[in-house]
A = this chain, B = another copy of it.
Amino acid sequence: MKLTKEQNQEIKDLQSLNNSTKRVTAPKLEEILYEALPILDHGFVRVIDYMGNDNSIVQAARVSYGKGTKKVNTDAGLIKYLMRHWHSTPFEMCEIKYHVKLPIFIARQWIRHRTANVNEYSARYSILDKEFYLPSKENLAAQSASNRQGRGEIIDGNEAEKVLGLLKNDAERTYKNYEEMLNERYDGSVIEEGKAGLARELARMNLTLNTYTQWYWKTDLLNLMNFLRLRADHHAQYEIRAYADVMLNTLKRWVPTAYDAFMDYRVGGTEVSSKGKEVIKKLIKGEKVSIDETNLSKREWNELMQTFNLEDKIV
């Protein structure tokens, strides 16, 4: 990722702001406010603004439960309790806003999280930057044989070179033709004086899905955690996970207590079905259980055994 001189200057200017406020603050998050945290080859995430901190969650819970919260005597205890029992509304009392630069095919996954506010760079109005995502070699993987949506073995050597070559050439050529149709280059210079260029809203259709776009994305803490839970998961595509991982870090700086509870109950936790519970109960009693006496499918059985480190029982 490289920023222009102007962008770097703008970030520096913003970071030198020193405003006075009566609002609560999150000092660790302030440290990295506005900073462009690099992701993939040209992407980034920047925290642009936020509202509230761990204390805002506690405060909202205490309004709800009134004197009822007296028994839980520490703030951390209360936040853990809320997380464990899915008391979700106090987490909605905090809000955060990111500026994100990301490839379009990842933006298309991301936007499916509807409970957020978005302002995306419009290619109807303006020309998209000449930047597209090319995976690094260690992320070039074959289609998984066992999982319809996953990656399998790494592709390397000549094969990898060939793939990267195709991606690079196609992105460059389609971008060049995009400029051609617009009669305007990415830097704003005109290609052929006096000639009309194709409307931007049409020309953009020639770009490939690895072209970078950018947006402001604002959401509340509850929905941010829902996003991170799904997107920092190992089932998620590597490219969006790369964003989620960096954002997990910003979460930790913003609301460290909620972060701990989130990692324990959501990210590191697991769900066990009604039938799965029966299996676990028997195993704890020291009984032998075989898949045949349960109503679990093979896939479910194996997922359950894996969750509790019983790899020898996988069938």
- Docked pose: A220 CA to B92 CA in angstroms: 12
A residues 188-207 near B (Cβ < 8 Å) are 188, 195-202, 204-207
User: Whole-angstrom distance from the CB of A277 to the nearest CB of chain B?
Assistant: 6
**Structural contact, B272 and A125, CB atoms closer than 8 A:** no
Contacts of A159 in B (CB 8 A): 195-196
User: A20 — nearest CB in chain B belongs to which residue?
Assistant: B18
Residue of A20, A21, A127, A276 ringed by the most chain B CB atoms within 10 A = A21
Assembly CA distance A52 to B182 (angstroms): 36
Q: Roughly how many angstroms separate A215 CA and B59 CA in the complex, as a whole number?
A: 11
Q: Is the interface of A mostly helix, strand, loop or mixed?
A: mixed
Contact partner of A103 (CB less than 8 A), chosen from B24, B52, B205, is B205
- Residues of B with C-beta under 8 A to A105: 204-205
CB distance from A229 to the nearest CB of B (A): 9
Which B residues are in CB contact (< 8 Å) with A107?
A: 108
A67 to chain B, nearest CB (A): 5
- Closest Cβ of chain B: how far from A57's Cβ, in Å? 10
How far is the CB of A60 from the nearest CB of chain B, in Å?
4
Q: Does A14 contact B (CB under 8 A)?
A: yes
Choose the segment among A1-9, A115-123, A242-250, A251-259 that binds chain B (4+ C-beta atoms closer than 8 Å). Answer: A115-123
A265 proximity list for chain B (CB < 8 A): 271, 273-274
* Cα–Cα distance between A87 and B246 once the two chains are bound (Å): 24
- Find out whether the CB atom of A60 lies under 8 angstroms from the CB atom of B216: yes
A17 within 8 A of B: yes
Check if B275 sits within 8 Å of A60, measured CB to CB: no
A 26-43 contacts with B by CB, 8 A: 30, 33-34
Contacts of A112 in B (CB 8 A): 89, 111, 118
Instruction: Identify A218's interface contact among B92, B171, B273, CB under 8 A.
Output: B92
B210 & A209 in contact (Cβ 8 Å cutoff) = no
What is the CB-to-nearest-CB distance from A257 to chain B, in angstroms, rounded to a whole number?
Answer: 14
Question: A58: shortest Cβ distance to chain B, in Å?
Answer: 11
User: Nearest chain B CB to A264's CB is how many angstroms away?
Assistant: 5
Knowing A263-B274, A284-B283 touch, does A198 contact B140 (C-beta < 8 A)? yes
Tell whether, in the assembled complex, residue B23 and residue A50 are in contact, meaning their CB atoms are under 8 Å apart: yes
Nearest first, the 4 closest Cβ-Cβ pairs linking A and B are A268-B274, A66-B126, A68-B125, A142-B196
Identify the A interface with B (CB < 8 A): 14-15, 17-25, 30, 33-34, 49-52, 56, 59-61, 63-69, 71, 77, 80-81, 84-86, 89-90, 92-93, 95, 97, 99, 103-105, 107-108, 111-112, 114-115, 117-122, 124-127, 133, 135, 140-144, 148-153, 155, 159, 163, 166-167, 170-171, 173-174, 177, 180-182, 188, 195-202, 204-210, 214-216, 218, 220, 230, 235, 237, 263-265, 267-277, 280-281, 283-284, 286, 297, 299-300, 307-310
List 16 A-B residue pairs with CB atoms under 8 Å apart, sorted by A's residue number.
A17-B23, A19-B20, A24-B49, A60-B216, A65-B125, A65-B126, A86-B230, A93-B97, A125-B148, A142-B199, A143-B199, A144-B199, A153-B196, A167-B205, A208-B209, A272-B272
